[in-house]
């Protein structure tokens, strides 16, 4: 935990870590519940969702843990809290699902709803956010080279193998290798952190087995080019969309360039009162002051919208 005004090479002013916390050193998501003053964290390597007191510090146990056979959790990656409807949302790329739990759930508890299946378009779900005011759930999901890869908007009470009510993705969107998504509660604007404009390459292994079909590809041929222009072209960004956006459209607003962790951002958090956007990636984070990004966008998208393919 860092002070919002932290700047430069500074140590955190608070850390939660150690065996008793049940955390691991592999965590890809975090949410803060400002109504209940709680921190919620998915633990990918233990198939669990942990909740800590807002002021937790040091080697302290969580106050609640969702884990067990009823949960269907395998490798929860990202998390969000809907404190209006008292729900925790998580996305699990191994389960290929968005799962919604009661916020107060503790122990081996089944999810209230699960959004998963062919119709949803979801696969490698790396971001999830809730907008209780507009009654939607937003998921960021990636699927191979053919997609669909982008932002999926579902009705808040969606359950099962249902189609999204909106989808932002396609070549004009440049959405590819992204992660966290979040929503400005006042405007409903959707903020997404993208690390790279090129789709993540297949991993060499499927778990502990070499991936079939990769042939005799020379690993070195598969590496990023050192050419400056090539790298620049792939750099990620923070993209902002209006709540009703749909189709193969570019973002309404963007932060790009060296400022976004220099190469791309994996996470994004908002400080709405201060009109600040925090982009985290790699080994640091940057804060941008951008009041215009917290406005209601009136301009329609510049490219023709298209429905999910």
Per CB under 8 A, contacts with another protein among 47-86 are: 47-48, 54-55, 59, 67-69, 71-75, 78
Number of residues that bind another protein (CB under 8 A): 139
Measure the CA–CA gap between 81 and 89, rounded to whole angstroms.
Answer: 6
For residue 235, which of 212, 216, 254 has the smallest C-alpha distance?
Answer: 254
C-beta closer to another protein: residue 31 or 153: 31
Q: How far is the CB of 89 from another protein (least distance, A)?
A: 14
Measure the CA–CA gap between 281 and 254, rounded to whole angstroms.
Answer: 16
- Residue 266 φ/ψ, nearest 5 degrees: -105, -25
C-beta closer to another protein: residue 134 or 185: 185
Looking at residue 215, what DSSP letter applies?
T
Looking at residue 123, what DSSP letter applies?
S
Q: How far is the CB of 21 from another protein (least distance, A)?
A: 9
Angstrom distances, CA of residue 86 to CA of 80, 81, 89, 100, 274: 11, 8, 10, 10, 26
Residues numbered 130 to 169 that lie near another protein (CB under 8 A) are 142-144, 149
* Residue 66: how many other CB atoms lie within 10 Å: 28
Residue indicated by tokens 């919604």: 100
Q: How far is the CB of 307 from another protein (least distance, A)?
A: 20
- DSSP 3-state assignment of 21? helix
Binding part of the chain for another protein, among 82-90, 98-106, 162-170, 286-294 by CB under 8 A, reads 286-294
Measure the CA–CA gap between 307 and 249, rounded to whole angstroms.
Answer: 11
Q: How far is the CB of 113 from another protein (least distance, A)?
A: 15
Q: Which of 51, 187, 197, 308 binds another protein (CB under 8 A)?
A: 197
Q: How far is the CB of 287 from another protein (least distance, A)?
A: 4
HSE-CB for 210 with a 13 A CA cutoff: 6
Q: In what order do the strands lie in the sheet with 48-53?
A: 31-33, 38-43, 48-53, 64-66
Binding part of the chain for another protein, among 129-137, 150-158, 183-191, 280-288 by CB under 8 A, reads 280-288
What is the token pair recorded at 107?
């122990």
- Residue 218 φ/ψ, nearest 5 degrees: -80, 125
C-beta closer to another protein: residue 38 or 166: 38
C-beta closer to another protein: residue 231 or 309: 231
Q: How far is the CB of 157 from another protein (least distance, A)?
A: 21
By CB under 8 A, tell whether 186 contacts another protein: no
Q: Which of 175, 189, 246, 282 binds another protein (CB under 8 A)?
A: 282
Residues numbered 206 to 265 that lie near another protein (CB under 8 A) are 206-211, 214, 216-220, 223-235, 237, 240, 250-259, 262-263
Fill in the per-residue mask, 93 to 122: x = in contact with another protein (CB under 8 A), - = not in contact.
xxxxx----------x-------xxx----
Q: Which of 63, 133, 157, 271 binds another protein (CB under 8 A)?
A: 271
């Amino acid at each position: 935990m860092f002070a919002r005004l932290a700047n430069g090479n500074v140590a955190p002013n608070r850390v939660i870590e150690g065996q008793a916390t049940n955390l691991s050193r592999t965590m890809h998501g975090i949410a803060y519940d400002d109504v209940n003053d709680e921190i919620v964290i998915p633990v990918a390597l233990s198939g669990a969702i942990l909740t800590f007191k807002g002021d937790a510090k040091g080697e302290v146990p969580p106050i609640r843990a969702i884990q067990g056979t009823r949960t269907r959790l395998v490798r929860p990656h990202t998390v969000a809290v809907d404190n209006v409807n008292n729900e925790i949302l998580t996305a699990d790329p191994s389960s290929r699902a968005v799962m919604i739990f009661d916020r107060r759930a503790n122990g081996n508890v089944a999810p209230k709803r699960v959004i998963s299946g062919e119709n949803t378009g979801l696969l490698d779900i790396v971001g999830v956010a809730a907008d209780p005011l507009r009654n939607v759930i937003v998921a960021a999901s990636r699927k191979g080279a053919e997609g669909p890869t982008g932002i999926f908007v579902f009705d808040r009470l969606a359950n099962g193998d249902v189609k999204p009510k909106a989808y932002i993705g396609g070549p004009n969107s440049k959405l590819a290798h992204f992660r966290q998504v979040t929503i400005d509660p006042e405007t409903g604007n959707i903020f997404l952190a993208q690390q790279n404009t090129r789709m993540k390459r297949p991993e060499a292994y499927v778990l502990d087995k070499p991936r079939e079909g990769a042939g005799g590809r020379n690993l070195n041929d598969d590496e990023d080019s050192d050419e400056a222009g090539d790298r620049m072209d792939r750099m990620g960004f923070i993209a902002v969309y209006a709540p009703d956006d749909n189709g193969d459209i570019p973002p309404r607003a963007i932060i790009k360039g060296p400022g976004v962790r220099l190469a791309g951002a994996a996470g994004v958090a908002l400080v709405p009162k201060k009109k600040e956007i925090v982009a985290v990636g790699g080994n640091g984070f940057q804060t941008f002051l951008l009041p215009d990004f917290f406005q209601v966008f009136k301009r329609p998208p510049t490219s023709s919208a298209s429905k999910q393919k």
